[in-house]
Structure 1
Amino acid sequence: MTSTATHAGPPAHLRTRWRLTPRTGISVLRAEVGKGLTVQLAHPVAHVVTLIFTTTVYLGLQYVIGQGTIQRDLLPRTLVGISGYWMLQFASMVMVADLVEEKRAGTFAQSRLTPAPLWLIMLGRLVTAAVMGVVVAVVATLVPMLVTGTTIPFTWAALVPYTLVVVNVLAFTFMLAAFALSSPMIGVLQSLLTSMVILLNGAVMPLSLFPAWLAVVARLLPTTMGVEATTKVLFEDRSLGDIWSDGTLPWLMAYTAVLVLLGWYVFVRNHRRALRDGRLGQY
Structure 2
Amino acid sequence: MAELAVSVRPLGVLAAEVRKGLLTQLAHPLGHVVGLVVGMGMYLGLQFVMGQGALRADLLPPTLVGICAYWFLQYSAMVMVADLVEEKRGGTFAQSQMSPAPAWLLMSGRLLTAAMFGLVIAIAAAAVPATIAGITVEWRSSVIVPAVLLVLDSLAFTFVLAAVALRTPMVGALQSLLTALILLLNGAFLPLALYPDWLAAVARLLPTTLGIEAVGQALFGGLSLAELWSTGALPWLAAHTAVLAVGGGLLFAHNHRRAVRDGRLGQY
Q: Give the distance between the partners of 2:24 and 2:193, measured in 1 at CA.
A: 40
Structure 1 residue corresponding to 2:212, chosen from 220, 227, 250: 227
Question: 1:179 corresponds to which residue?
Answer: 164
Asked if 1 retains the 8 angstrom alpha-carbon contact of 2:88 and 2:266, the reply is yes
Moved more, 137-146 or 235-244: 235-244
Structure 2 residue corresponding to 1:194, chosen from 179, 183, 187: 179
Cα deviation, 1:197-224, whole Å, max 9, x if unaligned, reads 1111111111110111111110111110
Query: What is the one-letter code of the residue matched to 1:103?
Result: K
Query: What is the one-letter code of the residue matched to 1:225?
Result: L
SS in 2 for 1:253: helix
Q: Give the distance between the partners of 2:266 and 2:6, measured in 1 at CA.
A: 26
Q: Give the distance between the partners of 2:44 and 2:116, measured in 1 at CA.
A: 25
Q: 1:94 to 1:146 in 2, by over 3 A?
A: same
Query: 2:5 aligned with 1:18, yes or no?
Result: yes
SS in 2 for 1:202: coil
Structure 2 residue corresponding to 1:217, chosen from 202, 220, 238: 202
Question: 1:8 corresponds to which residue?
Answer: none
SS in 2 for 1:196: helix
Asked if 1 retains the 8 angstrom alpha-carbon contact of 2:88 and 2:267, the reply is yes
The higher radius of gyration belongs to 1
Q: Give the distance between the partners of 2:113 and 2:6, measured in 1 at CA.
A: 24
Cα deviation, 1:122-144, whole Å, max 9, x if unaligned, reads 00011111111000000001000
Q: Give the distance between the partners of 1:237 and 1:111, measured in 2 at CA.
A: 47
After the TM superposition, which parts of structure 1 deviate over 4 Å for at least 4 consecutive aligned residues?
none
Q: 1:19 to 1:54 in 2, by over 3 A?
A: closer
Structure 2 residues not aligned, in runs of 5+: none
TM superposition shift of 1:68:
2.1
Query: What is the one-letter code of the residue matched to 2:44?
Result: L
Cα deviation, 1:166-219, whole Å, max 9, x if unaligned, reads 001111111111111112211111111111111111111111101111111101
Query: 2:16 aligned with 1:31, yes or no?
Result: yes
TM superposition shift of 1:59:
0.9
What is the TM-score of this pair, normalised by structure 1?
0.92
Count of residues in correspondence between the two structures:
268
What is the TM-score of this pair, normalised by structure 2?
0.97
Query: What is the one-letter code of the residue matched to 1:191?
Result: S
- Provide the alpha-carbon RMSD of the alignment: 1.3
Q: Give the distance between the partners of 2:14 and 2:115, measured in 1 at CA.
A: 13
Asked if 1 retains the 8 angstrom alpha-carbon contact of 2:142 and 2:223, the reply is no
Of structures 1 and 2, the one scoring higher in RCO (CA 8 A, sep 6+) is 1
The 5-angstrom pairing of residues 26-65 of structure 1 reads: 26-65=11-50
Structure 1 residue corresponding to 2:69, chosen from 76, 81, 84: 84
Query: What is the one-letter code of the residue matched to 2:147?
Result: Y
TM superposition shift of 1:228:
0.2
Q: Identity across aligned pairs (percent)? A: 57
TM superposition shift of 1:19:
4.1
Q: Give the distance between the partners of 1:56 and 1:266, measured in 2 at CA.
A: 37
Cα deviation, 1:78-119, whole Å, max 9, x if unaligned, reads 001111001000000111111011000011111221101110
